Amino acid sequence: VQDGQIVLNISPTAVVGLQLMDTEVRFNARFGGQPMEVIVPMTAALAIYARENGAGAMFEAEPQLDAMPEPDESNDEPQASFDTVEGSKSGEGTSKSTNKKKPNLKVIK
């Protein structure tokens, strides 16, 4: 993120199902190994261009996006957030028993 903008370099080999529509750009990709569906409304896109030769199109900023008020931080309503949860370490407390015997083969003649 730079100056409130995000640049997405979308390579055809890095995404699946790339769709450029009148209303949105949609594709599937992996971020940090997690599969995600990315949907970018065209009202939020400022430009689409080819990195190789710079050919493409630039768009004007949508007036309704410029007129949107900044979020008020003095709002008394609770805000959604993520926090660290104290608990067992990963793998502890599972239903699998670690006291099982290893499988073995016995040769009988």
- The secondary structure of residue 91, as a DSSP letter, is T
- Residue-wise pLDDT for 1-51, tens only, equals 777 778 777 877 888 888 888 888 899 988 888 898 989 888 888 887 777
CB 65 within 8 A of CB 43: yes
Looking at domain 16-65, its CATH class is mainly beta
pTM listed for this prediction = 0.48
* Tokens (6 digits) for 6: 């995000």
Alpha-helical segments (H) within 1-109: 63-66
Q: Is 35 helix (H, G, I), strand (E, B) or coil?
A: strand
